[in-house]
Amino acid sequence: MALLFAFPIPHSNYSAGMTTITALLCLHLLLFTVVRVNSIEPSSSSEDPYKILNIIPNPDGTFTRLQNYPETPPSPDPTLPIPVLSKDLTIDQSNHTWARIYLPRQALNTPPNHPNLPLIVFYHGGGFIFYHANSTYFHDFCVRMANATQSVVVSVDYRLAPEHRLPAAYEDSVQALHWIRASNDLWLAHADFSRCYLMGESAGGNIAYNAGLRAAAEADQIRPLKIKGMILIQPFFGGKKRTPSELRLAKDLNLPLAVTDSMWKLSLPVGTDRDHEYSNPTVNGGAKVLASIRELEWRVAVFGCDGDQLVDRQKELVKLLKDKRVNVVGQFYNAGRHGIFVGDASMSTKVFHLLKTLH
């Protein structure tokens, strides 16, 4: 079936950079999905996850992803008439991980030895299986965020499943934090390492959370980087027992339940199920390191909306954090869809507004 979660449908106030060709591709995917979506069963275990996600396994252990997502090159040239510059840097050559750094142009007027911009470490979505840091969908969001909040943004390109199942993405994400703290890059020199926030959308929200748990456990090792909080945008969590929102939106065109089930099958460690701690943060009463997050006085924000089948999972996370006395706020909205806070510029501003209040 066509995967609309990994290729969100454009809206009238979507980023101006979306091209007519992309819109036509999205329309094609929508029409194709409408034909197939009625065959989706809420809990079918017999469906081929490769077929559902439209990927093909290769003999060498890699996978061919049949969807092609637009990508945007970096713009590092300071003479360009743009508000935000961007460039790509390697994190780990052996793992082929890298990051795209976004720097507000105004920062060039400030000496790099006087860091004054907050640092946002961003993890893109895509069900652990799709997208990259240079994907236009997330690139445009990071440009808007760096400009609106006047922050240095580091968007991490981590290893993808099924080639690299979890916890590979978590390990890459924590490695990125160590890379940042030790970097002598002049752009990063504009960032105030004492004001660092971890942010992610969908699967990236899951990664930000799990990377945050690891970072809290080794807070002394990542200094002078000091994490102040996590912003989780419609984070991707699951569990064996279906929630009311999953059942209500099982055949939602934007994110069918068969798609999320397939993503978990191909991203979780082999032999585990959706009640693994990577998928379900509430198992066994939650991670013990949440006590450290409370002691470190991190602030956590969780964004969600009623039109997303994952919303009940997100509300469960907020409840868990409140029970652990973590400083958390849930920002939940009526209607909407999965991906709306990145794909809809008017909803992105709600995230940016909260970020500015944290600064």
Among 90, 86, 167, 158, residue whose Cα is nearest residue 126: 158
Whether pTM exceeds 0.75: yes
Please give the share of the chain, as a percent, with pLDDT higher than 70. Answer: 87
Active site residue 308: yes
At residue 23, φ and ψ (nearest 5 deg) are -60, -40
Distant-in-sequence, close-in-space partners of 71: CB < 8 Å, separation ≥ 6: 132, 134, 135, 136, 139
Residue 178 known to be catalytic = no
* Predicted pLDDT at 47: 83
Active-site position among 135, 173, 202, 348: 202
pLDDT band at 46 (very low <50, low <70, confident <90, very high): low
* Per annotation, catalytic residue among 15, 139, 338, 344: 338
* Residues with Cβ within 8 Å of residue 288, at least 6 apart in sequence: none
pLDDT surpassing 70 at residue 38: no
User: What domains can be seen in the chain, in order of their start residue?
Assistant: 72-357 (3.40.50.1820)
Does the pLDDT of residue 204 top 70, yes or no?
yes
Which pLDDT tens digit goes with each residue over 263-294?
999 999 999 999 999 999 999 999 999 999 99
Strands 117-123 and 191-201: parallel
What residue type is 141 in one-letter code? F
Could you give the CA distance from residue 185 to residue 99 in angstroms, rounded to a whole number? 12
Tell me if residue 202 is catalytic.
yes
| Statement: residue 28 has pLDDT above 80 | no
Kindly name the residue from 308, 312, 344, 348 that is annotated as catalytic: 308
Residue 12 confidence (pLDDT) above 70: no
Q: Among 19-23, 190-194, 322-326, which is the least confidently predicted range?
A: 19-23
Per-residue pLDDT at 110: 84
Residue 163: pLDDT band with limits 50, 70, 90: very high
Pairing of strands 299-305, 227-233: parallel
